[in-house]
Every structure is written in C-alpha cells, then in structure tokens.
Amino acid sequence: MMILRTTLMLAALPLLLSGHALGNDAPSAPDLLDRIKVTAVRLQTVPEFDVPASIDTIDVDGRASRMGASVSEALDGVPGVSARERQNLAQDTQLSIRGFGARSTFGVRGIRLYADGIPATMPDGQGQLSHFSLAGAERIEVIRGPFSALHGNSSGGVIQIWSADGTAPMHGHAQAVSGSHGSRNVSASLRNAGQAWGYALAAGVFDTDGWRDHSAARRESFNARLHRDTASGARIDVVANHFNAPDAQDPLGQTWAQFTENPRQSPSVATQFNTRKSVRQDQVGVRHRQPVGEGHAVEWMAYGGQRRIEQFLALPVAAQINPLNAGGNIDLDNTFSGLDLRWSWSGQLAGRAVEFTAGSNADRQKQHRQGFENHLDGVLGVRGALRRDERNQVSNFDQFVQGWMRLSERWSMLAGVRRSRVKFRSTDHYVTSGNPDDSGRVDYAETTPVFGVTLAPTEDLRLYVSTGRGFETPTFNELGYRTDGGAGLAFDLVPSRSRNLEVGAKWRAGSRAIVQAAMFRADTDDELAVSRNVGGRSSFRNVGRARRQGFELGTDIAFAQEWRLQLAWTWLDASFRDAFPVCNASGCVDPSVLVAAGTRIPGTVRQQGFVRLQWQPSEWIFALEGVGMGDVYANDTGTARAPGYGVAHLEVAREWHAGALRGFARIDNLLDKAYVGAVIVNEGNGRFYESAPGRSLMVGLRWNWERSQP
C-alpha cells in the first residue's frame, strides 16, 4: 500500500499544478511529442494517442546516464513491464509483460520481440534480448494488452527496437563507461546519407567481471542499417547485425541460506563444472515499401540468420548414467528465415477516414540439437560422449487483416483478426538399445480476433476499450525435456489460450505532459508452467486455468520549466484458477504436492513502482530514481519467495559545447540494500535466488560529433 499511496501522491501533484506550471516556453525540459506512425499495431496515419491500446515509445537519444549494455535499462519506466537483470549474462534478462513470460528461466517467452521490423522471436515463441543494441538505437516501442495478439503466437506483449536512420551531414558518437565490478562498455556510431543511400552503423563491446563469483562475461555487437528513398516514394531498408558472447560464466542460483550468508557467492558446483554459455548470432533482413496508387502501398520483408549456442550445465555425473539422459552439455545450431508480405490502404470510405492492412507471413526455424556428457576421463566441465542428436524444425504460416475507421468526430474503431498455424517436427538420430526413437510431430492452429473503440471527449482526452484472444504454443525448449525424465520431446503439451480485456484512458497537456491508465484482465486455459527445474534443465506441463488482472498508471510530465517527472505503477493479480499437483523435491518425477486454486503465479510481482525526478538547470542534469517491487514467489506452492524491496539511484550529468560532450556519473542502490533481483522458478535444488548488486558506481563520457557542411 505504501507504493500505491506514494505513486498517487506523486501523480496528483503535477496535475494540481498543471494550470500554471506546465509552461510551453521551458527551454530545458524535453517535449513529449505525439507520434503518427505506430508500427506496433501496423498503423501509418493514425496517431498513437488515438489507438485503443496501451503503447509506450521510449526515445533512445544518447542522453541516458547508464551503462548502455542492456535494453532493459530503458524499460524501467514502462508500466506493466518487468525487466529483471539477473547478474547472469549466461541466462539473459527476465522479461515479462502483465505477467506473461514470468515463468521463463532463461531467454524470453510469451512476448514478441522485433529489431528493425525483423522478428527476434522464433516461430516457436522463444526470443532473446541479448542482440538488441542500444548503441545505434533511436526508439523502443512497447505494446500491452489485447492488440498484442495481432503479432501471432506468444504475443502477451510486444517490444520493438528501431535503429536510427542515416542523415546528412555525417555524424556519430563515441562513448566509454566504466563501473563497479569490473564493468566497462565502449560503443560508437556513424551515420550519413547521400543522394542514393543512407547508412547507420553502430558497434559496442561490453565486459564485466560480474557482481557474483563466477559471473564474468563479454558481449560484442555490431548493427548496420542502410536505407534508400526513391523518387517514386519507395523505401528500402537493409539491416544486418552480429552478436557474440563467448563463454559467459553462469553463477547459478542461490539457496536462501547462501544469499543471506554472502549474496556474491555462487554454489560450488558452478566452478566444479565451469558452468557457462556461448552464443553467436548473425542475421540480415530486407524491407521494401512501395506506394502503388492513391493511398495504396505494398510492403515485403525477408530475413535470415543463424544462432549457435553451447552451454555447460552442473548436471551430476551420476545422473547421466541413465541411458535416457541427454547429458550436461547442450549444443544448439539454429538457422532461421522468414518472409512477410502485406498491402495497406488509407483514404476515405463513405466519407470516413479509414486505414486497412492485410497480409501474410511465414517463418521457419531449423535446429540441430545435440547433447553430450559434461565430463571426460574424470575432468568436469568439458565435452564428453554424445547422448542426444536430433533435427528439429518449427514453422508458422499466418494470415492477418485489420482495419481502422473514424466512425464520427469523437469515435474511432480498430479491429483485426489473425490465423496462425505452427508446425513442430523432430527427427531422432540418436537411437540405441536403451534409448528408443523419439521422433515425432505436432501441429497447432488458432484464430485470434481483436477489437477496440476509442472515444475522444476532448482534444486532449481519450477513453478506450479493447478485447481479443491470444495463444501461446510451447517453445522447443519447453518441448525439449519431458516431465518424467525420459528422452525425446514433450509432445503431450498443448497451447495455452487467453481471452483479454482492457479499459483505458489517456490524457495530455499539449506536448508537455501525458498520463495513461489502464485496467486489464486476461483469462487463460491450459496455462503452461514449469513442472520442475533441475541442473539448469526445465520441463513444463499444462496446469489448467489462470488469470492475470490489474491496473497500470504511467505519467511523463515536464513542469516548472526545468523539472521532469516520470512515474510508472502496476498492480497485478496473477494466479492459478485450478488446483494441480507438482513435484516438490529434487529428482521428483511423480507430482504429489497439490497447488491450491488461487495461488499466485511464481515470478510475478503484485505491486511495482518507478519514480524519476529530474532537474535540469542550464548544462547540468540531476536525477533521483526510486524503484519498488513487491515480493515474488519462486515456486508454485509459494513456500519459497523473495521479499519485496525499495532502492534509490542517483545520477548527475553535464554537457559542454551544446551537448557535443557529455560526462555523467550514477550511483545505483544508493543505500546499499541487500535484495534478490530475480528468481529461478521451481529450481529443483532449492537454488531459487539471484542476488542484485550492492551500491555500485559508474562514470561515463560521450562525444557527439558532426562534420561541418562544405
């Protein structure tokens, strides 16, 4: 309740002052501009303010006083979004939106990710944030609620990152940041445009010794975007990126006793097996938009790439004696590709403004999954004998149509429907007398309609309601391990299906303030949940019905000429509606403990809040941030949980030569509070907890340069 009271007080204060404090002539505080192109819902001519959905757009302008190593840094102030840094770069950020994706023990599930319009989520619903680069980014779009379903499978929410266009004259930046725990990030960008082509190049290298023992990591990224605008109005974009993270150490989770004794330690098995993960990804994509008549346009996009993963787990040698065991060394070689074709038209129909879009897309992922023992000749943490060898393929073929219409001066409508078909295939190449052929196939199909209306009582107020259906298939990683411990894929899993409702309001005061609020509910059948998690290996099951409902509030207000307030608060009630049995001990394969109906879904937070107050007199910038999180269950039964916390961060920055040079410093966890930053849901050894860093300091310097015009 403290978070709620604080949030409402801070939100109300600027509104009470809005009559005389929201000056339009403030030179320092940035304008909060409306946006016309809403790519998250495929609208070209409809302002974001008029869309019946919760949408946030975060500008990435190079003025953030942060390390710049993870996109999660930019998501703190988005209501409904939880981006938990695990201090474990072998497992990536834990990302969830309104409770969708919270069960993920690694990677991102239940949420669609895009980079420059190219899917970063595979057809099976598995995604990664790791190759999202802030070095050359321009903006990040986040959509929540029913209209996320327009993106198909696993669309509990959508996050898109867009890199900047190349523009003349030639310009760029160089930035270096150094921080506690041996963390350092160096990045640079270069942009330009000529008569034919424009380009934007960005690269970065991040190194860290890690907050915890055995958590050192390195990430290398490069992103290139070329574009061409033709005389006929066509637009061509070519995007290529590279990501490499060699041998990122995995400190594993901690028991509660280990966390309280020393939050920086890692279990001894992490060093015994040298638990680690290597990732390398390369991809390229082309997008082409061509106007073909008055208001008509045709757009196509094609992409392809490869992602290679090798991971060493702390799986005991004794467990690998079982002939059905797949070993403690995972080797995944993924190739992926896709094609998207769509037509759009905007104009007048029966005297009303309209915009239509129709299209289809097909995506394919091929995976060569091998498993090896993680020991050889008495040496642990090295590749041993082959224990698994299979070729997997998943593909989707979707069709979609949507339309927006201004029904009257005050009313507008947005509706759409998508038909998705997802196919999984597995061919087993490791067949022995003790390990039978586990080949198989399974197909899923679903139709997801969405509908919303917007009312504009005044020029600066919008009220809306939207509803729709969504679905989420199991990913290859969720199919990868059966609950009974046997070999082969878990083809008994079925997709979860949800019914979604949202009621919201948006208010603005010119270009100086915006307030958004939404109530939401999502009822899910056949909810997918972690059945057990042992040695970094998760198995899943369908557990019946679940409900996610709550309220969100977000504000961004520039006031009193030099001040800016950002606030985000979320109340979420995410719970299982059906009782189901689970395993509650290490090595258990026969569920015997009952989870009662009404139990909170693990990994979700009941309340979370974010406040940032910024003061910018002249060239100096000072900011104070506060983050509050409620407690979070770490297992289905709720017997293990991480307590809630509140932390404060402080930053200061100064600019010289009209922003050409910028220096900054930031202190995170100002009061040096010990707390759990993330949990590993249903970890079978009781190592549920991943500690957050204590008080940390970072300093940085950024140089923005521009070549003078001749």
Predicted pLDDT at 15: 37
pTM for the whole structure: 0.90
Predicted pLDDT at 24: 38
**What count of Cα atoms within 13 Å lies in the side-chain half-sphere of residue 343?**
6
Predicted pLDDT at 534: 59
> Between β-strands 112-115 and 157-163, what pairing exists: parallel, antiparallel or unpaired?
parallel
CA distance 385 to 241: 34
Q: How many residues does the chain have?
A: 710
**DSSP-assigned states of every residue in 115-130:** ETTEE-B-TTS-B-ST
Confidence of residue 620 (pLDDT cuts 50, 70, 90): very high
Name the least confident of 52-56, 558-562, 646-650.
558-562
Predicted pLDDT at 8: 36
Name the least confident of 48-52, 436-440, 598-602, 609-613.
436-440
Predicted pLDDT at 36: 59
As for how many domains the chain has, the answer is 1
**What average pLDDT does this structure show over 655-660?**
90
Query: In the chain, what percentage of residues exceed pLDDT 70?
Result: 91
Predicted pLDDT at 13: 37
Main-chain dihedrals φ then ψ at residue 258, nearest 5 degrees: -65, -40
CA distance 608 to 628: 5
CA trace torsion 424, 89, 92, 260 (10° rounding): 120
**What average pLDDT does this structure show over 105-113?**
83
Predicted pLDDT at 27: 37
pLDDT at 10 over 70: no
Query: Per the omega criterion (within 30 degrees of 0), is the bond before 169 cis?
Result: yes
CA distance 619 to 572: 40
CA distance 587 to 59: 47
Using only C-alpha atoms, what is the Rg of the chain?
25
Query: Is 311:276 a contact under the CB 8 Å cutoff?
Result: yes
CA distance 186 to 205: 5
pLDDT at 215 over 50: yes
DSSP, collapsed to helix, strand or coil, labels residue 582 as strand
Confidence of residue 361 (pLDDT cuts 50, 70, 90): very high
CA distance 58 to 142: 8
Tokens 């199919």: give the residue. 479
Query: Is 391:429 a contact under the CB 8 Å cutoff?
Result: yes
Predicted pLDDT at 298: 96
Q: Return the H-helix or E-strand segment holding 258.
A: helix 256-261
Domain of 67 in residue numbering reads as: 2-200+208-706
pLDDT at 436 over 80: yes
Mean pLDDT of the chain: 89
Cα 39 to chain centroid distance, Å, stands at 17
Q: Encoding tokens for residue 321?
A: 């004696």
Residue scoring higher pLDDT (37 or 397):
397
Q: Would you tell me how many other CB atoms lie within 10 Å of the CB of residue 527? A: 24
Residue scoring higher pLDDT (450 or 109):
450
Task: Residue 47: name the closest of 454, 517, 350, 551 by CA.
Answer: 454
For residue range 256-293, list pLDDT tens digits in order. 999 999 999 999 999 999 999 999 999 999 999 999 98
Predicted pLDDT at 589: 61
Please report, for the domain that includes residue 672, its CATH number: 2.40.170.20
**What average pLDDT does this structure show over 86-96?**
88
CA distance 465 to 526: 26
